[in-house]
Structure 1
Amino acid sequence: MTTYNSTNIRNIAIVGHSKCGKTSIAEACLYKSGSIGRLGKTREGTSALDYEPEEIKRKMSINTSLGACEWQGYKINLLDTPGYPDFTSEVQAAMSVSEAALIVVSASSGVEVSTTKAWHYAQKLSLPRAIFINKLDREYVDFNKTIDELRATFGKGVVPIQIPIGQANSFHGVADLITMNTKVLIKNKTQIYDIPDYMKSAVDTARHMLLESIAEFNDELLEKYLDGKEITETETAAALIEGIVNAKIFPVLCGSAEKCVGFRQLLNSIVEYMPTPYFKTSVGVNPLTQEIEERSTEDAFSSFIFKTVVDQFIGRTSYVKILSGSITENSTLYNPNEKKLND
């Protein structure tokens, strides 16, 4: 089993309204990374993440499922949450142990009730957010209209870093506004090309929107932008990371889980732009002194149990987020709630 430093780990909560395609997106990430050999589908009951009998029967997520994949030397933990309002506590628990949230929006439905609820809860936690517009292969979808709705609802910090190539049945790739190239799916392989002439106007408009947003909180880039000087790919990426970490910029990615289009780019973006747990400081109560303390990843061991499930065959299983330090097999830990040591 590969051991990862905390700098090479990404913990992402996938949240959004019911039926927007959260589980399908997590499934596509696992498939594209090679973690699973077959792309399952929720509606067919073959998803690797919706495996409970009730979830298979209802064709919807009821519990938060954890899926993990390896990508370019990084480990990405995906917490796939239910979108139905009755399971809000599952969403909140997943966000509390994540360093970022991926808010999924269906291109055919736009911003919905649970989309807004997930956004506001992430806002309370000051959680960095990215948005993924799914189902761009559907009929009568309008990417630009969805972007306008997102910006009207959540502010001008919402900016696309990709735009789709084609629409409805002809949707087959994305144009990257950071690297300024296009990535298209041809015979199940991603091919990279220069921006075609017919897309340059749309790309220039979207890129100006991106540069305007990141320049607002970066004085150096603002000066270059106002002077009409070129802003390099490296400068754009660095400013984007700064904006994401400080929850000022919320990048919009796009694709289709059904066609598995846009997921190599999504995985790359998670690795390149989303925050690592290494720099996150956790705040909690010291069980011995009852004083509030801050702990970083290198301090003594502390953890938080964010989910416990009971199985009739294997018994009680708890999901633990390690906040600081490390744990080894057969460790004895102090439980502050019960005020005793637990094996």
Structure 2
Amino acid sequence: MKEDIAKVRTFAIISHGGAGKTSLAEAMIFDAGATTRLGKVDENSSVLDFEPEEVKRKTTISSSIYSFTWKKQPFTLIDTPGDFNFISETKTSMQGGDSVVVLADAVDGVRVQTEKVWEFATEFGQPKLIFISKMDRERADFAKTVQDIQNNFGKACVPLQIPIGAAESFKGVIDILSGKAYVYGQGDSGKFDVKDMPADMVESAGRYREAVVEQVAESNDELLEKYLESGELSPEEIRGALRDAVISGKLIPVACGSGVGNMGIQPLLDLIAECLPSPLDRGPVQGLSIKGDAELTREPDEGAPFSSLVIKTVSDPYAGRLSILRIFSGTLAPDSTVFNAGKGAKERFGQLLRLKGKNQESIQSAGPGDIVAVAKLKETVTQDTLCTERDPIVFPSVELPPAIYSLAVEPKTKGDEEKIFSSLSRLMEEDLTLKLDRNDETREMILSGMGEIHIEAIVDKLKRKFGVEVNLKLPRVSYKETIKAKARVQHKYKKQSGGRGQYGDCTIEMEPLPRGEGFHFYDKIVGGVIPRQYIPAVEKGIAEALHEGTLAGYPVVDFKVDLVDGSYHTVDSSEMAFKIAGSMAFKKAMSDAKPTLLEPIMEMEITVPDDAMGDVIGDLNSRRGRVLGMETKGYKQIVKAQVPRSEVLKYAPDLRSMTAGRGMFTMKFSHYEEVPGPLQDKIIELAKKEKEEK
């Protein structure tokens, strides 16, 4: 029924790492009576951060979902990771929410990662509510944090609640529209008394109320006209327009409190119920036909065709794959068959599960706004659409940043290579930013992710879930070799050892090409000096030889070869002889054509706070980087640069250290450039040494 769907609130809790998201979520479910004990991250009693890797690091690595009831309304919260290392988990799970609660730390304010997840919410069209956390911490500053929020996210962010005191003297919050004060007792029971507003706070509350009224008025033409005429709006008019203003994004409420101290949580839950959208408010969800040639929509209606998006996958070697779905339309029951629209596959499942952190409960039906789990789907992974075969639809998948940190991985036990590959493949079903590739040039298996902590957590999971232990090391850089001059070389391969001999003679002209052109071979033989059947053998000999250059054994690129002359023997010539002749001619020509080393250059975009800018620029210069441009965004600086790959193999942990975890970056391959002379000598010497040791 629409009346029931209108009560549903499904929201993600987002922010930077360490802002207190999990503590807030634990307080919400405790105050709602869903748990009998307030879970604490520091005491390892959280029902949301329960994976051993999370307990070890005391931080959220996997998004956790908890469905509960607040004042007879169905609520589902999604507790997301705040660390950029786990950005895939955050962004894909955020798609399960109709709105977001954004945390801003009362001590540290808005951080880079907060801005990034804010952008995700904007991308998804999700209304926002801001909660200023840690009001009971030393140096907590509400006014300064509000200013920081408005500088970063605009004047539409206005407090609907203000704190009574701060740090050790923090004891509650004031609802500035009703004037009620929620005053909390000692401890973290969440018990409070509703009192009149303290007299010394009436003036400041009035100023904040005026800002709310102005913002509400600006969201509605009729109210704006009345406000301009009378300078005031009634409480009923404000409350009536507040919800529409929040859902349209014209007003972003700001609340405050403490998750760890369990203060200000019940007023926040009331605000979520009052202001944030239901699936009905969100309206139809957009998708595409299977062929992608038509736009489709799904109404948040139980009577509509079933449709859902897989927002998370959990792989277990014993229990199998658990798929977590956000339902957008229709209903779902246990023992059903669904259709994976993207893969064209039918999937059948048994139990239908509601998630309560680390626990699950079996349910008999689910509908729009619900997040549920089903087990052992064979084809389905995160970002897949599940629907009915009769009415298929494909919901768009999100764009995720490319991996920025790579390590070479090898088994501790010989012969476990295949086990590593199969186990990591299972973990890649959970984590879309995790990549495993075989580098044929360096003969290494490369594990790539979003940072050092990401890779460490994956290695821990490998051991715990699959019993696979690995060694990690920095990967070798994929250098290339090329030439800078022209060369003409003849090579005659002649061998006589009794019986039929070997004879192949070719003359080649070698010449450099622009970057990225690769290898080109041209047949310029005239007069049949080399028979047609032997010419491909010359090209093949060169193509095989270019995999190992004469400088340091790296692949040779960006050159062309003209086959211009040669000779043959009617008896002794063969394809093999001309292949060898081509290979030897190539090696001689390369030595004569001023060979040089090329290195991969990465394109980087680094976002850092103002106060770290000098250190970051100086560090980039020390890494032979070229700064291409800088852009100011609030209190943050965005630096665009190009840096050699060899200089940024450990940039993820280095930037974290430089900025105290407040910086983030993206990185992708740009192009190859010549290595400076003195460095070439070192690389060549190291390559020779490695070759001798083999």
Q: TM-score range by the shorter chain?
A: over 0.9
Deviation at 1:179, TM superposition (A): 1.8
Q: Take 1:28 and 1:190, find their aligned partners in 2: how far apart are those partners?
A: 14
1:320 aligns with one of 322, 325, 328: 325
1:292 matched to 2:260? The reply is no
Tell me the TM-score normalized by structure 1.
Answer: 0.95
Tell me the residue number matched to 1:334: 339
Partners of 2:148 and 2:45 in 1: how far apart? 33
**Do residues 257 (structure 1) and 259 (structure 2) align?**
yes
Report the equivalent of 1:281: 284
State the secondary structure of the residue aligned to 1:109.
coil
Distance 2:344 2:278 in 1: 32
Counterpart of 1:109 in structure 2 is 108
**CA deviation vs aligned residue, 1:4-59 (integer Å, no higher than 9, x gap):** 93212111110000000000000000111011111111122111100000000010
Matched to 1:286, the amino acid is: S
Indicate which of 224, 235, 238 corresponds to 1:236: 238
Letter in 2 for 1:33: A
Match of 1:192 among 180, 194, 197: 194
- The farther-off stretch of 222-231 and 202-211 is 222-231
Matched residue type, 2:245: G
- Mapped partners of 1:290, 1:19: distance in 2: 44
In structure 2, the residue matched to 1:158 is 157
State the distance in 2 between where 1:286 and 1:173 align.
51
Whole-Å separation in 1 of the counterparts to 2:334 and 2:68: 23
Deviations 1:242-289 (A, max 9, x none): 111111211101001121000110111111111001232111123388
Q: Distance in 1 between matches of 2:175 and 2:220?
A: 22
Count of matched residue pairs: 341
Q: Which residue of 2 aligns with 1:304?
A: 309
1:171: which partner in 2? 170
| Residue 64 (structure 1) aligns with | 63
> Comparing 212-221 with 31-40, which one deviates more in the overlay?
212-221
CA separation in 1, counterparts of 2:10 and 2:290? 27
- The AA in structure 1 aligned to 2:343 is E
**Is 1:27 aligned with 2:36?**
no
Q: Which residue of 1 aligns with 2:494?
A: none
Query: Which consecutive residues of structure 1, in runs of 5 or more, have no partner in the other structure?
Result: none
Distance in 2 between residues matched to 1:246 and 1:94, nearest whole Å = 22
2:37 maps to what in 1?
Answer: 38
Q: Give the secondary-structure state (helix, strand or coil) at the position aligned to 1:8.
A: coil
* Structure 1 residue identity aligned to 2:300: T
Deviations, residues 164-187 of structure 1 (Å, cap 9, x unaligned): 011111111111022221111135
SS of the equivalent of 2:233 reads: coil
Per the alignment, residue 223 of structure 2 pairs with: 221
Q: Distance in 2 between matches of 1:140 and 1:290?
A: 56
Question: Match of 2:124?
Answer: 125
Partners of 1:291 and 1:34 lie apart in 2 by: 46
Label 1:48 to 1:292 Cα distance change in 2 as closer, same or farther (>3 A). same
Percent of aligned positions that are identical: 38
Note the 1:60-99 alignment, pairs <5 A.
60-99=59-98
> Helix, strand or coil for the counterpart of 1:44?
coil
Structure 1 segments (4+ residues) deviating >6 Å: none
Distance in 1 (alpha carbons) for counterparts of 2:76 and 2:226: 37
Residue 233 of structure 1 and its aligned partner are, at CA, apart by 2.1
Give 2:271's aligned residue.
Answer: 269
Instruction: Give the distance between the partners of 1:56 and 1:235, measured in 2 at CA.
Output: 47
Secondary structure at 1:88's aligned position in 2? helix
In 2, the alpha carbon distance for the partners of 1:305 and 1:11 equals 15
Give 3-state SS (helix, strand or coil) of 1:227's partner: helix
Deviation string 1:212-260 (CA, Å, 9 cap, x unpaired) is 1111121222233223354222211222211111112111010011210
Unaligned runs of 5+ in 2: 349-694
For 2:197, give the aligned amino acid. Answer: I
Helix, strand or coil: the match of 1:259? coil
Paired residue type of 2:346:
L
Instruction: Give 3-state SS (helix, strand or coil) of 1:40's partner.
Output: coil
Task: Give 1:290 deviation, angstroms.
Answer: 5.3
How far the C-alpha of 1:312 sits from its partner, in A, is: 3.2
Deviation sequence 1:43-95 (CA, Å, 0-9, x none) = 22111100000000010000000012211111111100001101111111122
Larger RCO of the pair (alpha carbons < 8 Å, separation 6+) = 1
Name the SS for the 1:234 alignment partner: helix
Aligned to 1:5: 4
- Measured in 1, the distance between the counterparts of 2:204 and 2:230 equals 19
The verdict on how the C-alpha distance between 1:34 and 1:141 changes in structure 2, with shifts beyond 3 A counting, is same
Shift of 1:311: 2.1
Q: Distance in 2 between matches of 1:211 and 1:223?
A: 13
Q: Computing the radius of gyration over CA atoms, which structure comes out larger, 1 or 2?
A: 2
Kindly provide the amino acid, as one letter, of the partner of residue 320 in structure 1: L
Question: What's the CA shift string for 1:92-147, capped at 9, x where partnerless?
Answer: 11221211011111100001011110111111222100100000011122111111
C-alpha distance in structure 2 between counterparts of 1:9 and 1:215, whole Å: 27
- 2: CA distance, partners of 1:226 / 1:200: 24
TM-score scaled to structure 2, two decimals?
Answer: 0.48
Could you tell me how far 1:308 is from its partner in structure 2? 0.8
For residue 141 of structure 2, what is the aligned residue in structure 1? Answer: 142
